[in-house]
């Protein structure tokens, strides 16, 4: 094979990362892209999501940003408030995000983002979806021959041979499990000790209350913070829905975590957790119909030694799950997809050199790992600061909020802090790949160890930290 576009690309999972991978490869001209998804269709979780400029930049390249943007809220300010009093600790105006970074910071419905990606995929004849199909195991990681086993929901399991296998199968990734097991490495999922309620209130629920209507009609993303807890809220879906996402100690999953880490929460438990928050918050939580409280357990794992083995690479939450406090999880997964398509199409040999393909995947890891680790760490740091209880540390935090309000200095909520926004939002993952692929590729030496247990992917790299954020 001398044309990389003839490579067979197999993607496991049709979440944000998997859809992004499929679309990215199709846009680069790849002709054979197969996506395997456990679910019988894309049943999107009913929840909001923040659409940061670095994500929009990638989506726009693929021609699917305009439709998503048309339904989104263009956020012009963020406001951090004390949960108990509703007192504003800091108000960060963001009127010029689009001018600064080329794209606005928006909020939208998850269905709008995933739907936009999926519609983009459906226009590409090279992408084939296989629903109700789960990856069961990986029989061979390449680089010579990559074979995995697919289990249909109804029917006999069968083997698939591919050239590149991408594990975009989320926090419970079977691809990650197989890859780490083969290398004799550990990577157990960890509890973060935190859980989230996801709530969506409709315009008809809020429109009779002027105080709530003002929130729904605003262009502000709000955060109410308190000890060990906070709530993020913003309008989505052309301001027909007000989305609230909470974060609190995870106490309700101790008994029986479900496969998806979600559970039907108890309304009274939720009201109890936020019982000392301001009446405006209480009013909204009270509007949630009994039986419709959805709680998610927030999971993570420590940074992996490798994301790549032979012709297999991990994507999104399968390799860098994050707490949601920086609103970058899906953005990172989407960037991963874009970078993967770039590196594979640049591998020397046009697809015929298997080792070059494996090295190209390793360049993807080098391009992505430091940046995603940094963002994951910043999200965790935000949580520590936002969730402080009474005491000196909280006083210092609130002083920094006040300074930030007056002077534009860094503020403890990384998501709203202008210098963190600059670092995250200005980043163009495709340009970065373009500029650094050759240099990083040249640093990779040694033989791939697709068959050797007990070691990471055998390429060594003089600049393992080669990613500047």
Among 7, 9, 11, 14, binds ligand FAD (CB under 6 A): 14
Phi then psi dihedrals of residue 78, to 5 deg: -120, 145
Do residues 140 and 179 lie in contact, with contact meaning Cβ atoms separated by under 8 Å? Answer: no
Judged by beta carbon, residue 39 or residue 77, the one nearer ligand FAD is 39
> Measured at CB, which residue is nearest to ligand FAD?
15
12 binds ligand FAD (CB under 6 A): yes
341 binds ligand FAD (CB under 6 A): no
339 binds ligand FAD (CB under 6 A): no
375 binds ligand FAD (CB under 6 A): no
Judged by beta carbon, residue 306 or residue 461, the one nearer ligand FAD is 306
Short-list 195, 282, 292, CA closest to 246: 195
Minimum CB separation of residue 195 from ligand FAD in Å reads: 9
**Residue carrying the six token digits 């050759």:** 438
328 binds ligand FAD (CB under 6 A): yes
Minimum CB separation of residue 207 from ligand FAD in Å reads: 25
What is the per-residue binding string for ligand FAD in 156-195, x denoting contact by CB under 6 A?
Answer: ------------xxx---x---------------------
Distance CA 32, CA 3 (A): 12
Listed ranges 12-20, 73-81, 272-280, 385-393: which one lies at the site for ligand FAD (CB under 6 A): 12-20
Distance CA 384, CA 335 (A): 26
Residues 6+ apart with CB under 8 A from 395: none
95-134: contacts with ligand FAD (CB under 6 A)? 134
Among 4, 10, 18, 79, binds ligand FAD (CB under 6 A): 18
Short-list 460, 432, 433, CA closest to 448: 460
Is the alpha carbon torsion for 306, 308, 310, 312 positive or negative? positive
Minimum CB separation of residue 82 from ligand FAD in Å reads: 22
Judged by beta carbon, residue 134 or residue 449, the one nearer ligand FAD is 134
Residues 6+ apart with CB under 8 A from 468: 370
Judged by beta carbon, residue 16 or residue 356, the one nearer ligand FAD is 16
386 binds ligand FAD (CB under 6 A): no
Q: How many residues bind ligand FAD (CB under 6 A)?
A: 33
Among 11, 33, 38, 273, binds ligand FAD (CB under 6 A): 38
Among 80, 111, 117, 135, binds ligand FAD (CB under 6 A): 135
Among 34, 37, 295, 413, binds ligand FAD (CB under 6 A): 37
Listed ranges 316-324, 345-353, 355-363, 417-425: which one lies at the site for ligand FAD (CB under 6 A): 316-324
Minimum CB separation of residue 80 from ligand FAD in Å reads: 16
CA distances from 336 to 19, 110, 167 (A): 11, 18, 11
Is the alpha carbon torsion for 405, 408, 409, 415 positive or negative? positive
Minimum CB separation of residue 36 from ligand FAD in Å reads: 5
Minimum CB separation of residue 232 from ligand FAD in Å reads: 8
Judged by beta carbon, residue 334 or residue 444, the one nearer ligand FAD is 334
Distance CA 125, CA 29 (A): 11
Minimum CB separation of residue 298 from ligand FAD in Å reads: 6
Distance CA 337, CA 17 (A): 6
Angle at 452 between CA 449 and CA 454, to 5 degrees: 110
Do residues 379 and 371 lie in contact, with contact meaning Cβ atoms separated by under 8 Å? Answer: no
331 binds ligand FAD (CB under 6 A): yes
Listed ranges 234-242, 314-322, 381-389, 450-458: which one lies at the site for ligand FAD (CB under 6 A): 314-322
Minimum CB separation of residue 313 from ligand FAD in Å reads: 13
Minimum CB separation of residue 53 from ligand FAD in Å reads: 12
Minimum CB separation of residue 222 from ligand FAD in Å reads: 14
Minimum CB separation of residue 271 from ligand FAD in Å reads: 19
CA distances from 8 to 83, 128, 166, 318 (A): 51, 11, 11, 21
Do residues 15 and 168 lie in contact, with contact meaning Cβ atoms separated by under 8 Å? Answer: yes
What is the per-residue binding string for ligand FAD in 190-229, x denoting contact by CB under 6 A?
Answer: ------x---------------------------------
Binding residues for ligand FAD (CB under 6 A): 12-18, 36-39, 49-50, 134-135, 168-170, 174, 196, 245, 296, 298, 316-318, 324, 327-331, 333
């Amino acid at each position: 094979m001398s044309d990389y576009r003839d490579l067979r690309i197999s993607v496991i999972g049709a979440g944000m990362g998997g859809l992004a991978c499929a679309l990215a490869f199709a846009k680069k001209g790849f002709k054979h892209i197969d996506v395997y998804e456990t679910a019988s269709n894309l049943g999107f979780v009913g929840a909001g999501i923040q659409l940061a400029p670095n994500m929009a930049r990638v989506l726009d390249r693929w021609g699917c940003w305009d439709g998503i943007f048309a339904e989104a809220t263009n956020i012009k300010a963020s406001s951090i408030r004390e949960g108990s009093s509703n007192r504003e600790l800091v108000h960060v105006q963001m009127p010029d995000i689009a001018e600064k970074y080329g794209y606005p910071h928006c909020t939208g419905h998850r269905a709008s983002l995933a739907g936009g990606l999926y519609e983009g995929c459906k226009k590409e004849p090279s992408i084939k979806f296989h629903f109700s199909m789960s990856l069961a195991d990986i029989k061979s990681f390449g680089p010579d021959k990559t074979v995995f086993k697919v289990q249909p929901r109804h029917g006999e399991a069968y083997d698939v041979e591919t050239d590149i296998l991408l594990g975009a199968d989320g926090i419970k990734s079977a691809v990650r499990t197989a890859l780490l097991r083969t290398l004799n490495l550990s990577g157990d999922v960890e509890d973060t000790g935190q859980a989230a309620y996801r709530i969506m209130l409709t315009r008809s629920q809020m429109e009779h209350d002027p105080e709530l209507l003002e929130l729904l009609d605003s262009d502000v993303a709000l955060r109410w913070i308190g000890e060990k807890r906070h709530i993020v809220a913003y309008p989505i879906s052309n301001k027909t829905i007000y989305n609230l996402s909470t974060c609190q100690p995870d106490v309700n999953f101790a008994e029986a975590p479900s496969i998806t880490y979600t559970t039907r929460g108890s309304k009274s438990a939720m009201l109890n957790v936020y019982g000392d928050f301001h009446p405006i918050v209480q009013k909204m939580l009270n509007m949630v119909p009994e039986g419709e409280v959805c709680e998610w357990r927030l999971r993570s794992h420590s940074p992996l030694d490798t994301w790549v083995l032979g012709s297999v690479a991990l994507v999104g939450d399968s390799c860098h799950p994050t707490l949601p406090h920086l609103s970058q999880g899906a953005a990172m997964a989407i960037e991963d997809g874009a970078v993967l398509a770039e590196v594979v199409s640049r591998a020397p040999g046009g697809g015929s050199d298997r080792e070059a393909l494996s090295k190209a995947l390793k360049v993807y890891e080098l391009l992505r790992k430091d940046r995603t680790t940094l963002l994951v760490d910043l999200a965790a740091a935000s949580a520590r600061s936002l969730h402080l209880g009474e005491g000196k540390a909280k006083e210092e935090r609130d002083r920094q909020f006040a300074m930030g309000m007056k002077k534009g200095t860094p503020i403890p909520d990384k998501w709203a802090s202008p210098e963190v926004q600059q670092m995250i939002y200005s980043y163009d993952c495709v340009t970065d790949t373009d500029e650094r692929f050759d240099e990083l590729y040249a640093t990779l030496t040694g033989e791939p160890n697709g068959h050797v247990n007990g070691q990471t992917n055998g390429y060594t790299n003089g600049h393992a930290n080669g990613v500047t954020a």
